[in-house]
Amino acid sequence: MSMVLARGICIVIGYCLGMFQTGYIYGKLHHVDIRQHGSGNAGATNTLRTLGLKAGLITFIGDLGKAILSMLIAWLIFHERYPQGVMLLEMYAGFGTVLGHNFPAYLKFKGGKGIACTAGFILAFYPPMAILCLLLFIVVVAVTRYVSLGSILVMFCFFIQLVVFGQLGYLRVAPELMVEMYAVGALFAIMGIWRHKANIKRLLSGTENKFSFKKSGNLEKK
């Protein structure tokens, strides 16, 4: 099997798992289409704000977990055949998961923003990256109360770390695949930032919603 085919298989695996919309399914079980409320996306933040802490945590864990699962499947299939390329294949599986989450075919390609999926990818890909990303997110949200700003800055933080750790030789990827790895990492960052384009406009205009636990679970309280 060629690496080209392996890349395609990993993307398909990720996309199929990514289409499992935790927030949407949780909402439907409670007779709510999460996409018709709040920001209109099916991600963890909107689920938290609309249905409460429990729903938000379940959605976050589910979205985080499906990225990890897709990467595990990719590793199980290809780690022996491509020991110096399996991390890159895991990246493709993770990116496929984000695509499936953001653009689920059975929901007319209207999903979430992929941040929880990306968090799961970062955690499974190279845990030290996740530590700094998490700390940055917590500090930014605690200081500004803008979840969107924290998410956007995490995308930059991830990509910078990817290049730094890659150049330092901490990532088990063949030298000839490093540039491709950086390119896929850039796609993760671009996707995450692009999905927040409406948030960026509101941040610049000063109209972005600030996060508050007191305001979460609006529907749950009705």
The average confidence (pLDDT) of the chain is 92
pTM of the full structure: 0.90
Q: Which of 184, 181, 190, 195 is nearest to 155 (CA)?
A: 190
Q: Give the C-alpha separation, 92 to 77, whole Å.
A: 13
Alpha helices in 80-212 (DSSP H): 86-102, 115-125, 127-144, 147-167, 178-194, 197-205
Residue 221 has pLDDT above 60, yes or no: no
Higher-confidence residue of 10 and 49: namely 10
- Hey, where are the domains in the chain? 3-221
Q: According to the model, what pLDDT value does residue 214 have?
A: 59
Q: Give the C-alpha separation, 104 to 35, whole Å.
A: 13
pLDDT tens across 157-178, in order? 999 999 999 999 999 999 999 9
Task: Look up tokens 């109209």; give the residue.
Answer: 207
Q: Is 183 exposed, middle or buried (0-12, 13-18, 19+ CB in 10 A)?
A: exposed
pLDDT tens across 62-111, in order? 999 999 999 999 999 999 999 999 999 999 999 999 999 999 999 889 88
